[in-house]
Amino acid sequence: MAEEKTMKEIVSLLKRRGFVYPSSEIYGGFGASYDYGPLGVEMINNIKNLWRADVIRAHTQVVEADGAIILNPRTWEASGHLGSGFADSLVECQQCHHRFKEEEIKDQQCPDCGGKTTEPRSYNLMMKTFVGPVENTQSQAYLRPETCQSIFLNFRLVTDSMRMKLPFGVAQIGKSFRNEINPKNFLYRQREFEQMEMEWFTPEAEAKEWFEYWKERRLQWYLDLGLKKENLRLYEVPADELAHYARRAVDVEYKFPFGWHEIEGIHNRGDFDLSNHSRHSGRELKYSDADYPEPFYPHVIETSAGVGRLMLAFICDAYQKISGGRDQESQRSEEVVMQLSPKLAPVEVAVFPLMKKPELVAKAKEVFEQLKFSFRVQYDETGSIGRRYRRQDEIGTYLSVTIDFDSLKQQDVTVRDRISMKQVRVEIKNLPSALKQFLTKGSFNEG
Ligand code: GAP
């Protein structure tokens, strides 16, 4: 199928070009875990920083926190994760012993070999561990399945130490763990993944309005970063599919090559978390200030997205195959171009000497040095210039700067943009400001 082929090509490109590797590959991989390579790290750092810019810095009332992964296990009693709310129904094929979520099979028939499956049994998704040298029920703890719980546990501490006044938000980026029965679709569903979450505390009367605000704001963020409108939609989660903590949920969905799937959830969690933690811990987490007649539990609007899932969506959206090659230097029947927003691309500017001649290499290195603290720059002198353009196109680099023999005489360079492939000459002394301008505009063509 074309979709499967596309995913295979994307997975292979990401490995070949240092974005994502199968984890522990030399031991045959491990449980659908993935490692980010150098370019993958650049890209996820860009995603996280762009999220921070929009969710935190653009809103003076949002602060960032970073809580522990292993919390007091009582947290998960209060949050409902130890109960049936965070369990999947598991079945196993009696023939090939593959395991599935009950909802993935029909008529007790294994989708892989057609064998008969067992009766479903409940299976909690939290990853267990032991804290300290003795392994018993007292030392059992859990790796957090969502990052937000420490935000609720610390609600009082943040409010008091930072003198926060409603409405306000606490944001957090960090690893979460879920013992998914059937991890699949590459970065889409993993057992260890990173989340970017923001909990917005508001009086109940304003919760509806804030839900609309954050839903629209988050959707716009994806559009601003170049995800195609036709590949994005909002899905109102029906009442019988809501997570155990949610009163309302709208998912931002993206049209992956394997279908429409959630990339971010916007949830109205009501006062579920603060009231439950108050009850379980015996510490009152009500909010009070002189503007309100009595203490109360604020309601929570949550935005929650997975970094790896977003990276996969941005890459699927940007991945383009062009048959016949893009320019006269191309000798290939097919080329791949990653049409990523320059804001997301691991490399903003590539610097090349036209040939590996000492005087060109020296000048190119001088240009590289001039740019390296202001841009994400990569220097490349290996292979023909055509091949070097191809390599940069494949990883989504927006601008390529070439130093040729004229550069030595005229003190200027050629700048090529990935989208229009137009080339312009720019004086070396004006290069940083010209590149900044090209990067902000997105293409030489626009104005
Ligand atoms: N605190 C709310 C919460 O965790 P969720 O809908 O379970 O809500 C939010 O997860 C987001 O986290 C999802 O939209 C997805 O982007 C990401 N996510 C969840 N499970 C994941 C997994 N197994 N692998 C990768 N990302 C995942």
**What's the pLDDT tens digit per position in 233-268?**
999 999 999 999 999 999 999 999 999 999 999 999
Whether 2-82+126-315 shares its CATH topology with 333-441 is answered: no
Q: Which residue minimizes the CA distance to atom 25 of ligand 1?
A: 189
Q: Ligand 1 pocket, 149 CB below 6 A?
A: no
Q: Return the domain boundaries, the chain.
A: 2-82+126-315, 86-123, 333-441
* Strand 140-143 with 248-256, pairing: unpaired
Residue range 343-372, pLDDT digits in tens: 999 999 999 999 999 999 999 999 999 999
Task: Residue 251: count other Cβ atoms within 10 Å of its Cβ.
Answer: 19
Residue 184 pLDDT class (50, 70, 90 cuts): confident
Burial of 12 (0-12, 13-18, 19+ CB in 10 A): exposed
CATH of domain 333-441: 3.40.50.800
d(CA 205, CA 209): 9
Encode pLDDT of 49-66 as tens digits. 999 999 999 999 999 999
How many Cβ atoms sit within 10 Å of the Cβ of residue 319?
21
Q: For residues 436 and 418, what is the distance between their CA atoms, to the nearest angstrom?
A: 15
Please give the Cα distance from 94 to 102 (Å, whole number). Answer: 14
Looking at the CA of residue 190, tell me the nearest atom of ligand 1. 24
Return d(Cα 16, Cα 31) in angstroms, integer.
21
Burial of 119: CB neighbours in 10 Å, binned 0-12, 13-18, 19+ = exposed
Model pTM above 0.85: yes
pLDDT tens for 90-126 read 999 999 999 988 888 999 999 999 999 999 988 899 9
Looking at residue 2, its pLDDT comes to 67
Ligand 1 centroid vs 195 CA: distance in angstroms? Answer: 7
Q: Are 101 and 182 in contact (CB under 8 A)?
A: yes
pLDDT averaged over every residue in the chain: 94
CATH architecture of 2-82+126-315: 2-Layer Sandwich (3.30)
- For 353-382, give the DSSP string: ESSS-HHHHHHHHHHHHHHTTTS-EEE--S
Q: What angle do CA 204, 208, 211 make, to 5 degrees?
A: 115
Structure tokens at 145: 């399945």
Task: Flag the least confident range among 62-71, 265-274, 433-442.
Answer: 433-442
Burial 67-88 (b: 16+ CB within 10 A, else e): bebebebebbebbbbbeeebeb
Residue type, 161: S
Output the CA 311–ligand 1 centroid distance in Å: 13
pLDDT of 447 over the 50 cut = no
Question: What spacing in Å lies between the alpha carbon of 13 and ligand 1's midpoint?
Answer: 25
